[in-house]
Amino acid sequence: MTVLVPIGDFSRMTHLSVKALRFYHDQGLLEPARIDPSSGYRFYDTGQVPVAQVIRRFRDLDMPLDQVRAVLTAPDVETRTKEIIAHLTAMESKLAELQVSVSSLRALLETPTVRPEVEFRSIPATRALAVRGKVTVQQAWAWGTDVFGEIYGRIEEAGLTPAGPGGANPCYTRYQCGDGECGAVAAGFRDADREILAHPFDGKAEIELALVHGLVAVFHLPGLRRAL
């Protein structure tokens, strides 16, 4: 025997709000058993309570509406189980992301804040050994690696000490460089020794690096001290 109850009573029976029941009706998830043609008032069959409870449970578990619909309309247990497993997998992925976020926040709370050291430096004009050559963008990395090896090898042979790290001044556009792409690499040294220039290699030149004033931030990383 069919027992119809008004939407308010059905709401109390299923612990779904009237607003939610109207929404699920609009979405085609839970149709009323009868709608009064004059008032538009919705009535539900008490036999619909289990379906409403399934919807409420899966929505409490953040299952999307389309997936809830797929579960309700699944033709067999296997299809329904696949939909539930798919949602479980998505939730596990979100949980993993949440755990990473929690760990990051915990690390921020437990690790003291270390402000980078900022200092003003004046770097005097420095003589340097430089190599310039025309290369393509694709060749630039390998070319620079070879040139750095050549420069530092010559400096070491001459018994000199580099004044600082090597540097590069790449230029890859025809507008800037004229015909073809080019790059330049330079490494400074404290005591210019003419002997280092006496051994020729392609593109070598002694240049003067200009005086530099600037703010330097020093970051301390495990096993590494880097200045930017």
Q: Using one digit for the tens of pLDDT, what is the confidence trace for 32-70?
A: 999 999 999 999 999 999 999 999 999 999 999 999 999
In sequence order, the β-bridge partners of residue 182 are 134, 171
In sequence order, the β-bridge partners of residue 216 are 119
Determine the Cα–Cα distance for residues 52 and 43; give it in Å rounded to an integer.
14
Cα-trace Rg, the chain: 37
Q: Which among 87, 92, 27, 22 has a CA at the least distance from the CA of 58?
A: 87
Average pLDDT over residues 144-167: 74
Full DSSP string of 131-153: EEEE--HHHHHHHHHHHHHHHHH
In the chain, ranges of CATH 3.30.70 domains: 118-227
In the chain, ranges of CATH 1.10.1660.10 domains: 4-108
| Residues 6+ positions from 164 with CB-CB distance below 8 Å | 123, 126, 188
Give the residue, 53 or 143, on which the prediction is more confident. 53
pLDDT tens-digit map of 69-122: 999 999 999 999 999 999 999 999 999 999 988 988 888 788 766 677 788 877
- What's the pTM value of the predicted model, to 2 decimals? 0.47
Determine the Cα–Cα distance for residues 100 and 122; give it in Å rounded to an integer.
42
Q: How far is CA 79 from CA 56, 83, 167, in A?
A: 20, 7, 62
Considering the four listed CATH numbers 2.60.40.1530, 3.10.20.740, 1.10.287.70, 1.10.1660.10, the one that applies to the domain covering 4-108 is 1.10.1660.10
Give the architecture-level CATH label for domain 118-227.
2-Layer Sandwich (3.30)
Q: What is the DSSP letter of 80?
A: H
Grouping H, G, I as helix, E, B as strand and the rest as coil, residue 7 is: helix
pLDDT tens-digit map of 126-139: 666 677 777 776 77
